[in-house]
């Protein structure tokens, strides 16, 4: 092949340019958004009702949700109720109860009545002596 | 006079040697093929047993094969403890080659099994093709309590004169497990139930998951010996994104390139290393230590 080297270089440049455009289109990042998988939303806080009934009067009681104190009572009555705003996912909820009964008191129990946001009631009991730190799960 | 003293000294030494020899002979000889059961045997047996732990802490029980020295010990043992649920593929060899007259107790076979997921990758595990039973029962505290009772009963049968001691020791150990269960419930209560999603590279935590309300997504094909397909990696990434999983617990067999890709694409962080196959060193050298380490690692990773 004969001809001007300048012309050949120009031809080669345009050939690369012509090939480059479709290659860029095929391999480059697109601006169109990728379809992202739907991420499960965190459970929202809802109104739940909690009732505690003791067989023996404790000196103190604490209720914790996700490691945070949501209810704290010193010398509580035998029965008490409170409405709380808590996240209540479908998977359920764990409530940690820390109860201080007098050290010399016999075996005692607490009945935990939990009313979920739909109005359905669930019950669980905990037994113990002295200091009790345990978890009840609802539903 | 000197001669008399020598005679007395000789008699006393002989007596002492005989006492030591007899007391050692009276002890129940136990061979254990699981680091977990070695601890249970020592706790339940106390000073009434001599326990030989054949599988040492940190050794992968799936890969372990007994050596001639182990077989000799098994031949002399009165009780042989196996994890079972097909964990010890060499059980037939143990029975045949040692001719042991001791009781072989396949502890895990005394309680119900969970099934391995059909797609679960369990690379390098000899039992994976032999059975679909999940052998990792010790991650369930309820199974662990049953195992303590199985060991107590086996020891009491082999050495009825020490049954009261075994019973008392087992009761003490069961109380420790009760306390551990309460601690676990309180610790896991810090984690919302809808975040209890465990992504591991080794499907060993089904018993733990069932007991504590977790869903397990075991990643298969991520060992350094087995490159997963890009389709498989994409599926894993989509699953982690869809479930909003905050951390993955890879263990040491995970391929680092794949791990980097997954964490980059999903934003999930790498949780600490979980102890899946038995006791380890340091903090994880006891059952309680191992269990607490796993719970703390999971809670810290997913919180």
Task: Write the pLDDT tens digit of every residue in A40-90.
Answer: 556 788 999 999 999 999 999 999 999 999 999 999 999 999 999 999 998
Is B21 a residue whose pLDDT tops 60? no
Contact between chains at B185 and A42 (C-beta distance less than 8 A): no
Indicate the average pLDDT of chain B.
85
Q: Name the residue facing A90 among B185, B194, B244 (closest C-beta).
A: B194
Could you tell me which chain B residue has the CA closest to the CA of A94? B189
**Is residue B103 scored above 70 in pLDDT?**
yes
pLDDT score at B127: 44
- Would you say residue B124 has pLDDT above 50? no
* Of the ranges B43-57, B99-113, B209-223, the best mean pLDDT one: B43-57
pLDDT at res. B4: 63
Of chain A, the percentage scoring pLDDT greater than 70 comes to: 81
Lowest mean pLDDT among A26-35, B131-140, B146-155: A26-35
Express each pLDDT in B89-98 by its tens digit.
Answer: 888 888 888 8
Q: Do B242 and A40 touch (CB under 8 A)?
A: yes
Examine the pLDDT at B205 and tell me if it is beyond 60: yes
DSSP A129: S
Residue A27 has, within 13 A of its CA and on its CB side, a CA count of: 6
What residues are paired with A64 via a beta bridge?
Answer: A69, A96
Asked whether the predicted pLDDT for residue A104 surpasses 60, the reply is yes
Separation CA B239–CA B198 (nearest Å): 12
**Mean pLDDT computed over B46-71:** 90
In this complex, do B186 and A95 lie within 8 Å of one another by their Cβ atoms? no
- Assess A93–B contact: CB distance below 8 Å, yes or no: yes
pLDDT at B252: 58
Mutation for A interface: B178, B188, B193, most A CBs within 10 A? B193
- Residue B25: which pLDDT band, with cuts at 50, 70 and 90? low
CB contact under 8 A, B193 and A89: yes
Q: What is the pLDDT of residue A11?
A: 81
pLDDT of residue A40: 55
pLDDT of residue B14: 54
**Average pLDDT for residues B179-186, to the nearest whole number?**
96
pLDDT at A129: 93
Radius of gyration of chain B (CA): 23
Residue whose entry in the numeric block shows the structure tokens 């069961």: B174
Q: Which pLDDT does position A81 carry in this prediction? A: 96
Strands A79-87 and A68-74: unpaired
**Segment B257-297, tens digit of pLDDT:** 788 888 889 999 988 888 888 899 899 999 999 999 999 99
| Residue B116's pLDDT band (cuts 50, 70, 90) | confident
Q: Which of B189, B190, B241 shows the shortest C-beta gap to A37?
A: B241
Give CA–CA dist B124/B287, Å, rounded.
24
The pLDDT of residue B161 is: 96
Report the residue of chain B nearest A37, measured CA to CA: B242
pLDDT of res. B96: 83
B-chain residues near A39 (CB < 8 A): 241-242, 244
**Which pLDDT value is given to residue B55?**
93
Distance to chain A for B263, nearest Cα, Å? 16
CB B249 within 8 A of CB B269: no
What percent of chain B has a predicted confidence (pLDDT) above 90?
50
CB-based contact B208:B139 (threshold 8 Å) = yes
Considering only the beta carbons, identify the residue of B185, B194, B196 that sits closest to A135.
B185
Residue of B nearest to A66 (CA): B190
* B190, B213, B244: residue with CB nearest A67: B190
Q: Is A133 on the interface with B (CB under 8 A)?
A: yes
What is the DSSP track for B84-110?
-SS--TTHHHHHHHH---SEEEEGGGG
Confidence of residue A8 (pLDDT cuts 50, 70, 90): confident
Candidates B88, B95, B161; CA nearest to B131 is: B88
Highest mean pLDDT among A70-79, B2-11, B51-60, B126-135: A70-79
Q: Report the pLDDT value the prediction gives residue A32, as an integer from 0 to 100.
A: 38
User: Does B130 or B71 have the greater pLDDT score?
Assistant: B71
Number of residues written out for chain A? 139
- For residues B166 and B172, give the distance between their C-alpha atoms in angstroms, rounded to a whole number: 10
Computed over every residue of chain A, the mean pLDDT equals 84
**Predicted confidence (pLDDT) at residue B31 exceeds the cutoff of 90:** yes
Mean pLDDT of B184-196: 94
pLDDT for B125 beyond 50: no
* Cβ neighbours of B182 in A, within 8 Å: 133-135
- For residue B243, which residues of chain A lie inside 8 Å, CB to CB? 40
Nearest to A66 among B190, B213, B243 (CB): B190
Residue among B186, B238, B241 whose CB faces A135 most closely: B186
Binary contact (A91, B196; C-beta < 8 A): yes
Mean pLDDT of B5-17: 57
| Of residues B100 and B56, more confidently modeled | B56
Q: Is the pLDDT of residue A14 over 90?
A: no
Q: A23: how many CB neighbours lie within 10 A of its CB?
A: 10
Q: Nearest-CA distance from A123 to chain B in Å?
A: 18
User: In terms of Cα–Cα distance, which of B114, B138, B118 is closest to B129?
Assistant: B118
The minimal CB distance from B185 to the residues A67, A90, A134 is found for A134
Nearest to B253 by CA among B67, B64, B90, B62: B62
Q: Which residues of chain B make contact with A62, given a CB cutoff of 8 A?
A: none
B265 or A17, which is more confident?
B265
- Find out whether A57 and A78 touch, Cβ atoms under 8 Å: yes
CB contact under 8 A, B213 and A91: yes
> At residue B123, does pLDDT exceed 80?
no
User: What ipTM, to 2 d.p.?
Assistant: 0.71
């Amino acid at each position: 092949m004969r001809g001007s080297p300048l012309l050949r270089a120009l031809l080669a440049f345009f050939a690369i340019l012509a090939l480059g455009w479709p290659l860029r289109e095929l391999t480059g990042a697109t601006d169109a958004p990728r379809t992202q998988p739907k991420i499960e939303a965190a459970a929202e806080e809802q109104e739940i009702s909690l009732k505690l009934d003791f067989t023996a009067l404790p000196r103190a009681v604490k209720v914790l949700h996700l490691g945070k104190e949501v209810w704290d009572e010193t010398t509580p009555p035998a029965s008490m109720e409170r409405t709380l705003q808590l996240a209540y996912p479908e998977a359920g909820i764990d409530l940690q109860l820390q109860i201080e009964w007098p050290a010399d008191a016999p075996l005692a129990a607490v009945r935990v009545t939990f009313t979920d946001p739909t109005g359905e009631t669930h019950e669980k009991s905990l037994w113990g002596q002295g200091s009790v730190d345990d978890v009840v799960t609802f539903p | 006079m000197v001669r008399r003293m020598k005679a007395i000294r000789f008699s006393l030494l002989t007596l002492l040697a005989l006492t030591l020899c007899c007391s050692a002979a009276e002890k129940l000889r136990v061979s254990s093929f699981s680091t977990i059961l070695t601890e249970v045997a020592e706790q339940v047996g106390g000073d009434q047993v001599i326990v030989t732990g054949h599988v040492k802490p940190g050794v992968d029980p799936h890969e372990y094969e007994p050596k001639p020295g182990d077989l000799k010990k098994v031949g002399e043992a009165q009780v042989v403890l196996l994890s079972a649920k097909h964990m010890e593929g060499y059980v037939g060899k143990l029975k045949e080659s040692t001719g042991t007259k001791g009781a072989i107790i396949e502890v895990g076979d005394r309680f119900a099994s969970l099934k391995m997921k059909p797609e679960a990758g369990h690379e390098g595990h000899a039992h994976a093709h032999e059975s679909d039973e999940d052998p990792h029962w010790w991650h369930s505290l309820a199974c662990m309590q049953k195992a303590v009772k199985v060991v107590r009963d086996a020891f009491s049968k082999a050495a009825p004169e020490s049954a009261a001691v075994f019973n008392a020791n087992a009761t003490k150990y069961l109380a420790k497990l009760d306390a551990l269960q309460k601690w676990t419930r309180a610790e896991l209560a810090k984690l919302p139930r809808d975040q209890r999603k465990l992504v591991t590279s080794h499907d060993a935590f089904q018993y733990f998951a069932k007991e504590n309300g977790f869903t397990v997504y075991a990643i298969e094909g991520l060992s350094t010996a087995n490159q997963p397909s890009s389709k498989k990696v994409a599926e894993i990434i989509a699953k982690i994104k869809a479930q909003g999983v905050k951390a993955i617990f890879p263990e040491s067999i995970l391929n680092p390139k794949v791990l980097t890709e997954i964490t980059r694409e999903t934003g999930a962080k790498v949780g600490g290393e979980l102890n899946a196959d038995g006791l380890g060193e340091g903090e994880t050298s006891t059952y309680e230590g191992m269990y607490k380490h796993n719970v703390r690692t999971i809670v810290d990773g997913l919180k």
